[in-house]
Each structure stands twice: as structure tokens, then as C-alpha cells.
């Protein structure tokens, strides 16, 4: 398996942009509010990150940062339904898809809160308990996931995986976009397997002295366009050849990948 110091350094640079001074991620996550997880997950697809941030910020300004799914449903009902809520509270009338006659994302949000109610889920803890440890297919094919993916324009499951990532579930899906994101920093001879992706992420977490879950969230959200890099092309480490200079830490050069037991795929 071709895990090299060069590829680790390149991925570490991209992930490091989204880490604070003490290794904390500066990416969206809402461990205290399932309402915010639902909003961000539904609005994230097909939207510019700034538009999603504005929807979340407006909700926080009106309701705080600790609402559960039930409170989100009540706020929509109090506004007179999904459309007036979208128009006057979220200030976002984006449809759930580009198909003619598609329902509003706000309507999908309302439906999503009802799915949560059907399964007795109100807060993030309830969600994590319902999906278990989130390893492999368990988090993607459980009953709650199936009900979520039956919502309008949600059959791909991308927003469900967004939701789990925002809530702090350990589930991490290596899909085509994640592989494509890793391909941009991989050496040309690398075999971009699921194992490769996970090993690169673990290597980068060690280099950056942060949690593997933090790197996973950065990679997932960056690869799916939820967060955008501000790095310019001339600032990026070279795509090919050896990486030299002060931007490469000794921890990168000394890193030797070790097997990670029990890693979820």
C-alpha cells in the first residue's frame, strides 16, 4: 500500500487549514443540537456553504443552539408551515432538487423532524443510540436511515451521512467524492482503496496531533463542498516529487503507518 510522507504532507496541509491552534476542528458540527444537524444536512446539498451557514445562523439567532428535532418541528408549525418558515425564518426558498415541481428543502426538513418523532429521537444522543456504533452498513441501512432516505430527493443517502457526521457519529463513508479528494494529494502510483483512504487519514491525524474523527469530518465536508479551502494553488505543496523545506515537519518524515485494529469501513 503506497502511503508516503509526500501524500501525508499534502493532505495534512489541506486538513490543517481547518484546525485551530489546539487541534480543534473549525468545521460545522452540532453535538448539542439535532435541529441544527438536520438543517445543515438538508440544506448542504446543492448549496454554497455560505447559504447553509446563513440558514443555521438565522435559526440560532431566533432559537439558540440547543434545540432538538421536536423544537424544530414546533418552530415550523408556529410559522404557519414549511413555506412561510422558509420565507420568513430561514429566508431560503431553495427546492430540494432541480426537478420541476420539487418540494422546498424546508418541507424536507419538516418531514425529517417527523421521521425523528416516529423513532422517538429528539436530541443527538437519541440519534447516536438509534444508529448504534455507526460501523459499516449498520448506520446506513438501519430503520431510521431507510425512513430518512425515503424523504423527497434524499434517496442517495448523502444528507443522511452529512447528518451523522454533524452529530458526531463515527460512521465515515468512503464514497467517490472522498476518493477524488484523496486522489488530488496521492502519489501517482497509489492504489486508492478504502484501506488507503483510512490509513492516510490516520497518518494525518498523527501528524497534526488531532483526533482521527476530526480529520474524517474535514475530509468528508471538504470533499462534498460543505467547506471551502482558501489556499491558493501557489500555496499548495507540490503534487509530484519529494517535498522539502520548512513547511514539512519532521513528524511527517518519521511517520510509519501502523495497523489500526477495528477500524470502521
Q: Do 229 and 53 form a contact (C-beta atoms < 8 A)?
A: no
Pick from 19-23, 72-76, 147-151, 168-172: least confident: 19-23
Q: Which three cell numbers stand for residue 177?
A: 467524492
Name the phi and psi angles at 19, rounded to 5: -110, 145
pLDDT digits (tens, 9 = 90+) for 96-149: 999 999 999 999 999 999 999 999 999 999 999 998 765 555 677 889 999 999
> Which of 167, 201, 231 corresponds to the end of one domain?
167
User: How many Cα atoms within 13 Å fall on the side-chain side of residue 119?
Assistant: 23
CA nearest 172: which of 109, 218, 124?
218
Are 92 and 62 in a shared domain?
yes
| 263 within some domain | no
Number of domains in the chain: 2
> Which of 111, 138, 167 corresponds to the end of one domain?
167
Are 43 and 17 in a shared domain?
no
Instruction: Using pLDDT thresholds of 50, 70 and 90, give the confidence band for residue 168.
Output: very high
CA dist., res. 83 & res. 104, Å (int): 7
Write out the residue range of the structural domain in which residue 114 sits. 34-167
Flag whether the pTM goes above 0.85: yes
Are 220 and 161 in a shared domain?
no
> Which of 124, 142, 167 corresponds to the end of one domain?
167
pLDDT attached to residue 48: 96
Are 194 and 117 in a shared domain?
no
CB-count burial class (<10 Å; 0-12, 13-18, 19+) for 200: buried
pLDDT digits (tens, 9 = 90+) for 40-50: 999 999 999 99
- Is the pLDDT assigned to residue 249 strictly greater than 70? no
Amino acid at each position: 500500500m503506497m502511503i508516503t510522507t509526500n501524500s501525508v504532507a499534502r493532505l495534512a496541509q489541506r486538513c490543517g487549514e481547518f484546525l485551530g491552534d489546539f487541534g480543534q476542528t473549525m468545521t460545522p458540527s452540532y453535538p448539542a443540537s439535532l435541529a441544527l444537524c438536520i438543517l445543515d444536512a438538508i440544506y448542504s446539498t446543492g448549496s454554497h456553504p455560505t447559504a447553509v451557514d446563513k440558514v443555521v445562523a438565522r435559526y440560532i439567532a431566533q432559537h439558540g443552539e440547543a434545540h432538538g428535532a421536536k423544537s424544530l418541528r414546533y418552530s415550523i408549525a408556529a410559522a404557519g408551515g414549511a413555506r412561510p418558515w422558509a420565507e420568513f425564518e430561514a429566508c431560503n426558498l431553495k427546492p430540494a432538487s432541480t426537478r420541476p415541481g420539487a418540494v422546498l428543502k424546508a418541507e424536507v426538513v419538516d418531514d425529517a423532524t417527523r421521521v425523528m418523532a416516529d423513532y422517538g429521537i429528539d436530541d443527538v444522543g437519541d440519534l447516536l443510540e438509534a444508529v448504534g456504533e455507526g460501523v459499516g452498513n449498520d448506520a446506513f441501512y438501519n430503520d431510521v436511515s431507510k425512513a430518512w432516505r425515503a424523504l423527497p430527493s434524499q434517496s442517495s443517502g448523502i444528507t443522511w451521512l452529512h447528518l451523522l457526521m454533524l452529530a458526531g457519529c463515527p460512521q465515515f463513508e468512503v464514497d467517490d467524492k472522498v476518493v477524488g479528494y484523496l486522489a488530488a494529494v496521492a502519489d501517482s502510483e497509489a492504489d486508492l482503496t478504502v484501506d488507503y483512504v483510512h490509513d492516510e487519514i490516520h497518518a494525518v491525524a498523527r501528524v497534526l496531533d488531532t483526533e482521527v474523527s476530526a480529520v474524517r469530518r474535514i475530509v468528508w465536508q471538504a470533499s462534498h463542498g460543505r467547506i471551502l479551502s482558501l489556499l491558493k494553488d501557489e500555496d499548495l505543496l507540490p503534487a509530484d516529487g519529494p517535498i522539502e523545506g520548512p513547511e514539512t515537519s519532521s513528524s511527517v518524515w518519521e511517520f510509519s503507518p501502523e495497523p489500526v485494529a477495528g477500524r470502521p469501513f
